[in-house]
Chain A
Amino acid sequence: MTAAHDVAVIGGGVIGCAIARRFTLDGAQVVLLEKAADILDGASKGNSAILHTGFDAPPGSLEARCIAEGYAEYLAIHARLGLPLIRAGALVIAWTEAEEALLPALMDQARANGVDDVEPLGAAATRALEPALAPGVRASFRVPREYLIDPWSAPLAYLLQAVANGAVVRRGCAVTGGAHDGTAWQLATTTGPVRARLVINAAGNHGDTLDRLLLGEQHFTIRPRKGQFVVYDKPAAALAGHILLPVPNAVTKGIVVCRTAWGNLLVGPTAEDQDDRDTATLVPATLQALQRRGEEILPALAGHEVTAIYAGLRPATEFKDYQIRAHRGGSYITVGGIRSTGLSSALGTARHVAALAALGTTARPAPVWPGVPNISEAAPRDWQCAGHGGIVCQCEMVTQREVRAALDGPLGARSLAGLKRRTRVTMGRCQGFYCTAALARLTEGRFDLAMAEAPDGR
């Protein structure tokens, strides 16, 4: 019989990675199971890369608590893990009289959520802070501690710290069934059985189906909410210092305009409910509408080139709050419905889950703190340091040394998307025109699905 892990985390998104780290640091023996070839392949691959204070979360909600704790822990640990923090601040902008009327209540809500440094601004003050804004601004308030982060290095760093402290990661490992035998869960997976005392469902857009598979019941239903984004080339980033937020409505935070950690400018997301759990289809008319919206907010955006387009699926449910519940005498915890704020809340959500599990393990006395390489524009890049081996990706200035490092190590990239998330290769304006051939050579034999193959007989 396989030796039992203390914890099996199902799902290698930002939530699963943070949970694997938390339980490992708390002294548990953790295995993380990810069905895709690489981590961050589901809901966590496409978000707006903001570290939210939670100022607009429903006060008193579990989501608000997890965001606050996650935010605080990120600030405490990001430097030790080599993760960037871009202190952009956010402006919640009212463009109509009706929106302006909502600002005081939103500021009260922020204060109720412990974000007490919000600052109301008139039209002139708003435009003084952000001169590229369209003239129609009526008023705004500033949330100084809304920050920009690297949405992929953060979860990678969490999981790498878990691995450095003894956690095991299985990629390309889908859970196909399982049962509790009185002492532990026996999970059937596509890479063999896994035994664990505690199972944590962090399966994102598949959370309800996994509950049904393992528990025979579900307590919420996922209806993925698609968010499409348009990313502009680097010069556009000069148009917005702050994260530009609209006044939110009941369904969505609305269309955000903000810089990215890579020095671009993004506009998105849309909020489109759909049934498909896996496919986030890009729709040209919607992307054009996003561009128009972006240009309404920042008229000078009109002449700027689009670098990338992407779509993400957030695991929305029929409930507004997170759905985190223990089942089967505490041997199984579902962490579901983490829509939209997962990146901000992950570390806090992990703490909440650990408290709920109450495993009684002893925290590791001196955990290892492995750093991730910086790929953001907030700190010096590898190409600025000697001996980088040459530039592979010209648009994003990714070096050969970075690519090789990202392919090696305990969590080496196993897909081109995974390599992109670790290094930024192919993310730039040429989208692979210049570097595809070099990348295909550098990654030969490393990916589950090769970029290209030698023709037959060679």
Chain B
Amino acid sequence: MDADVIIVGAGPAGLSAAITLRAAGLRVTLLDREAQAGGIPRHCGHYPYGLREYRRLMQGPAYAARLVAQARAAGAEIRTQTNVVALHPGPRLTVTAPGRVAGGVAGGVAELTARAVLLATGARETPRAARLIGGTKPGGILNTGALQGLVYLGGQRPFRRPVILGTELVAFSAILTCRHLGICPVAMVESGPRATARWPAALFPRLVGIPLHLETEVAEITGRDRVDGVVLRHRGTTRRLACDGVVVTGGFRPEAALLAEAHLARDAGTGGPQVDQYGRCSDPAYFAAGNLLRGVETAGACWAEGRAVARAMLRGLAGALPEGSTPLTASGDALRYAVPQRTAPGEGAALAGLQLRVNRPFRGRALVTAGGATLAHAITALPERRIILPLPSGPGPVTLRLEDAP
């Protein structure tokens, strides 16, 4: 046994879980495939991070460094540049790393075992290809994550006058990232009728003089070696806008490639693993927390979720979690997904509640039924906006139904 708990992914969820598990005296090993632990906040060189965790306003890299230091100080072993390539029952993990993998062969591939595994591999944005955006494939088309990596980790500038696609919170992070190196976005483009992120973030582009084009789509990207423009379509009319890059933002989806060939049940709605309210997967030796569960929550929410799921893991390792669970029955054509996908009969849920997203602008109510009682919640939401409802704690199956307002 290489550790009591192996955590895959050393971002906010994985790190907070490691700290919690160490506090209970467990041997914890964190595996991260990047050269530095810390996850996405490593390359978000702007505010606001750390309010919930450290009661101070921090920038992403400082926040990530502090979490990593805290986990190390707590005695968690952190192995970077270590890729988990397969998950097996046991739990047992196949990994590869540049140097010697303890308990395995030198370099190449090795296997690690533990009493329990926490998956916390986070989320990534949907790239241009998966959105089927038309045009050519020149250099200069990046997700926010790639842009931040270049700007904050490498001090490099991939373009000077990009168009920013999308208006989720991360799009405003993209603007801040651009401004850090004097990159001046020429426009922000949103296909919906209003910005996805809530006020005041939605006011930000106007404050810094970036035109916001609503109900507009990028019909085509042009350029051979480098982007030289985009064709924008607004209500059936198109026009060309010169630019030298495109930042494709948001559309977060769990980074769940490991699940594709694993024995764990996966949810088609989130793309992540199916879990119960304790973050427990279909193989109860595996748990999951953070944005692997759904795209996407803030670093602070993932930190809190990692901590709560770690406490559930402690209960699980002590044999104190209820066994058996029933699927949550969810319906309504506006529903994109609901987490958790299963509920077990028991108290003290680790997840913050019943987390859902809609797949279109929605106004109506969510009906949550459990133990014969139904609670109605009024909802007005855009796609990609978070919706969290109280999760009934009573025994028996839970039903969720979305109903449009008449």
Residues of chain A touching chain B, judged by Cβ–Cβ distance below 8 Å, are 231, 233-235, 278-284, 287-288, 303, 305-310, 383-391, 394-395, 397, 400, 416, 429-434, 436-438, 440-441, 449, 451-455, 458
Q: Using A280-B136, A430-B127, A440-B156 as known contacts, list a sample of 8 further A-B pairs with CB atoms less than 8 Å apart, ordered by residue number in A.
A: A282-B132, A387-B98, A391-B96, A400-B98, A433-B125, A437-B146, A437-B153, A440-B154
Chain A residues with CB under 8 A of B35 = 390, 438
Q: Are A387 and B146 in contact (CB under 8 A)?
A: no
Give A388 to B33 CA distance when docked, in angstroms.
14
**Known A-B contacts A281-B220, A282-B137, A385-B108; A452 and B145 likewise in contact (beta carbons under 8 Å):** no
Chain B residues within an 8 Å CB radius of A388: 96, 98, 107-108
**Residue interface bits B100-116, CB-to-A below 8 A is 1, else 0:** 00000111110000000
Residues of A within 8 A of B255 (CB): 430
Q: Give the shortest distance, in Å, between B256 (CB) and chain A (any CB).
A: 10
Looking at chain B's contact residues, is the secondary structure mostly helix, strand, loop, or mixed?
loop
Given contact pairs A390-B98, A391-B96, A429 touches B154 in the complex (Cβ within 8 A): no
**A282 and B135: CB pair below 8 A?**
yes
| CB atoms of A437 and B154 under 8 A apart | yes
A455-B157 in contact (CB<8A): yes
Question: Which of A234, A278, A389, A429 has the most chain B CB atoms inside 10 A of its CB?
Answer: A429
Rounded to whole angstroms, the CA-CA distance of A234 and B182 in the bound complex is 39
> Looking at the complex, which one of A234, A400, A449 makes contact with B225 (CB distance below 8 Å)?
A449
Most chain A beta carbons < 10 A, residue from B43, B106, B157, B219:
B157
Residue B158 CB within 8 A of the other chain: yes
Asked whether, in the complex, the Cβ of A308 is within 8 Å of the Cβ of B136, the reply is no
Q: Are the CB atoms of A387 and B224 closer together than 8 Å?
A: no
Contact B149 A436 (CB under 8 A): yes
* B225 cross-chain contacts in A, Cβ below 8 A: 449
- 30 residue pairs A–B, Cβ–Cβ below 8 Å: A279-B224, A280-B136, A281-B134, A282-B132, A282-B133, A282-B135, A306-B130, A383-B96, A384-B96, A386-B106, A387-B98, A391-B83, A429-B127, A429-B130, A430-B143, A432-B127, A432-B142, A432-B146, A433-B127, A434-B124, A437-B43, A437-B150, A437-B154, A440-B158, A441-B154, A449-B225, A452-B156, A452-B157, A453-B157, A454-B155
Q: Which residue of B lies closest to A291 (CB)?
A: B132
**Does the CB pair B158–A308 fall under 8 Å?**
no
Complex alpha-carbon distance, A398 and B154, angstroms: 20
Among the listed B83, B97, B125, which residue makes an inter-chain contact with A397, where contact means beta carbons less than 8 Å apart? B83
- CB of B257 closer than 8 Å to a CB of A: yes
Determine if B136 and A282 form an interchain contact, defined as CB atoms under 8 angstroms apart.
Answer: yes
Contacts of A279 in B (CB 8 A): 136, 224
> With A389-B98, A390-B98 as given contacts, are A306 and B181 in contact (CB-CB < 8 Å)?
no
Residues in chain B near residue A438, CB distance under 8 A: 35, 149
Chain A residue contacts of B154, Cβ below 8 A: 437, 440-441, 452
Is B226 interfacial (CB 8 A cutoff)? yes
From A309, A386, A431, A434, B107 is in contact (CB under 8 Å) with: A386
Interface flags, B68-112, vs A, CB<8A=1, else 0: 000000000000010101000000000011100000011111000
* B226 pairs with A449, CB closer than 8 A: yes
